[in-house]
Structure 1
Amino acid sequence: MKGFVQDIESIAVKNDEFRQVLYTAKNCQLVIMALKPNEEIGAEVHTLDQFFRVEEGAGEAILDGVRTAIKAGFGIIVPAGANHNIINTGNAPLKLYTIYAPPNHRDGVIHHTREDAEADNEHFDGKTTE
């Protein structure tokens, strides 16, 4: 079978890695993330569209300077070119998943911490999961 058909909520909630690429297709990519209390993704701008879904925890989404409180159940769409950041403002891990369209990271990459992610200058290399 091609594609990804799994319980993404359960996978995201169990995840403790800062970033893990679960599946990469030609035109999009599924990634889970876990932010520790007071941790953030870091302000960034992409040339691609991105969707976030919060599964557990609380935080703040910042899109082009507009701050919005987020919690489990929230979805965030970041259009290409928007300066954005996700910050965990709670006392527990912020568990979420994101979809990049098109892919942004190397398929299968795992970054245990934000520092690991920042030290690894990796980008999507054109290789998909299948």
Structure 2
Amino acid sequence: MRGFVDDIEKLTEENTDFRRVLYTGQNLQLVLMSIQPGDDIGEEVHDDRDQFFRVEQGEGEAWIDGNRSPVKADYAFIVPAGARHNVKCTGNQPLRLYTVYGPPEHREGTVHATKAQAEAHEEHFDGVTTE
């Protein structure tokens, strides 16, 4: 078993894809995101999974059950299972962050260059892990 070891700050700051799955375990999944200025991830609810976010670059807003919180580099926030949420980029540069789902949300190896691609290819974790 090799797990995942890398410079997450560097990987996040260099990521230009809307969504890029880095590692999928049985109980956790690590995903990079880059949200363009004025865009968002889209309002969603995960009834059966918690989600941790860490912002590395940019400025934005985290919406959790109707409560708005400004976020920027070095901020982290957690969305508990069942909470309606959205993340929006409010700055002039992309909002670059990583997120950890527990349990996994997306299929292993998923890469969506844009939000439009992500919306066109809705897929969910199918039980296949990185290793």
Quickly name the TM-score band, shorter chain normalised: over 0.9
Question: What corresponds to 2:29 in structure 1?
Answer: 29
Does 2:90 match 1:89? Answer: yes
**The residue matched to 1:77 in structure 2 has which SS?**
strand
- What letter corresponds to residue 13 of structure 1 in structure 2? E
SS of the residue corresponding to residue 44 of structure 2 reads coil
Query: What letter is aligned with 1:63?
Result: I
Equivalence for 1:126 = 127
State the 4+ residue runs in structure 1 displaced beyond 4 angstroms: none
Structure-1 residue corresponding to 2:51: 50
Distance 1:67 1:18 in 2: 22
> SS at 1:38's partner residue?
coil
Provide the C-alpha distance between the structure 1 equivalents of 2:84 and 2:21, rounded to a whole number of angstroms: 22
CA distance in 1, matches of 2:122, 2:67: 28
Structure 2: gaps (5+ residues): none
Shift of 1:2: 1.6
- Identity among equivalent positions (%) equals 58
| Per-residue deviation, 1:121 | 2.1
1:111 has 2:92 as partner:
no
How many residue pairs are counted as aligned between the two chains? 130
State the SS of the aligned residue for 2:116: helix
Instruction: Tell me the TM-score normalised to structure 1 length.
Output: 0.98
In structure 1, what is the equivalent of residue 75 of structure 2?
A: 74
Residue aligning to 1:60: 61
- Gap runs ≥5 in structure 1: none
TM-score (norm 2): 0.98
The alignment partner of 1:96 has SS state of strand
**Counterpart-to-counterpart distance in 2, 1:111 and 1:43:** 18
How far 1:32 sits from its partner (Å)? 0.1
Counterpart of 2:91, as a letter, is G
CA RMSD in angstroms, aligned pairs only: 0.6
Matched, 1:5 2:35: no
